[in-house]
Amino acid sequence: MHALDAYELYRFFHIGDDETAALRGVSLQVCAGEIVAVTGPSGSGKSTLLACLTGLDEPDGGHVEVAGVRLTRRSQANRARLRRANFGILLQSGNLFPHLTVEQNVRLQMQLAGKPDEKRIAPLLDSVGLVARARALPTELSGGETARAGLAVALACDPPILVADEPTAEVDRDTELRLIAQFEARRAAGLATLLATHSKALAQRADRIVRLKDGRVENG
């Protein structure tokens, strides 16, 4: 059984009379212990795909299964329950509460999942290179630091599936290597990781690359 399965996803956006087909029949699978990179030019549908895969957006066609359970076409509450149980999510819209520090955001995420673990917070922040910024508020972070703080929140409960949009955006080479090590540790632990990225270095370390172009998988 796959950790994550998407079948023939379609997503259309309408603005006035204009229609954008953001996803046009995208299928993909991610197994436990696998890192999959989604690449493609700006506007090819990566973020839309990640939102549909995590149930934050509803595809217009096709469906998504998480650990063999259908996620699509369920109530918001059911989707939220499945999301909480299965995913750690970092999307471009961000996942940080603005009035809480980085450390407090991570702690809250653990508490919400019913898995408080004070001892894990410092090592987790260290693994994303943010120990020195633990007490900073999101408004005090750079773009790259914000992405890494969001990644720490997404990783807080060792989710079975990590879905991250541009997790290494705006980071230097050393920090990127540190984040790659984090994803590889997930692979070794048998956890699934799906990353949308423009980074060649990151994509090269994935087990598989899914290339999107104009809402379709190019190499499927």
Residue from 3, 4, 9, 22 that binds ligand ATP (CB under 6 A)? 22
Q: What is the DSSP letter of 33?
A: T
Q: Is 93 in the site for ligand ATP (CB under 6 A)?
A: no
Distance of CA 66 to the CA centre of its chain: 14
Residue from 25, 33, 43, 94 that binds ligand ATP (CB under 6 A)? 43
Give least dist CB 201 to ligand ATP, A: 17
**How far apart (Å, rounded) are the C-alpha atoms in residues 108 and 33?**
27
Backbone angles phi and psi of 175, in degrees to 5: -65, -40
Q: What is the DSSP letter of 71?
A: -
Contact between 168 and 197 under an 8 Å Cβ cutoff? The reply is: yes
Q: Is 48 in the site for ligand ATP (CB under 6 A)?
A: yes
Give least dist CB 72 to ligand ATP, A: 17
Q: Which is nearer to ligand ATP, 11 or 133 (CB)?
A: 11
Q: Is 55 in the site for ligand ATP (CB under 6 A)?
A: no
End-to-end CA distance of the chain: 20
**How far apart (Å, rounded) are the C-alpha atoms in residues 220 and 155?**
29
* CA-wise closest residue to 129 among 159, 173, 99: 173
* CA-wise closest residue to 85 among 118, 59, 48, 115: 115
Q: Is 39 in the site for ligand ATP (CB under 6 A)?
A: no
Q: Is 17 in the site for ligand ATP (CB under 6 A)?
A: no
Q: Which is nearer to ligand ATP, 43 or 62 (CB)?
A: 43
**From 39-47, 66-74, 108-116, 130-138, span contacting ligand ATP (CB under 6 A):** 39-47
Give least dist CB 171 to ligand ATP, A: 17
Q: Which residues bind ligand ATP (CB under 6 A)?
A: 13, 15, 20, 22, 40, 42-48
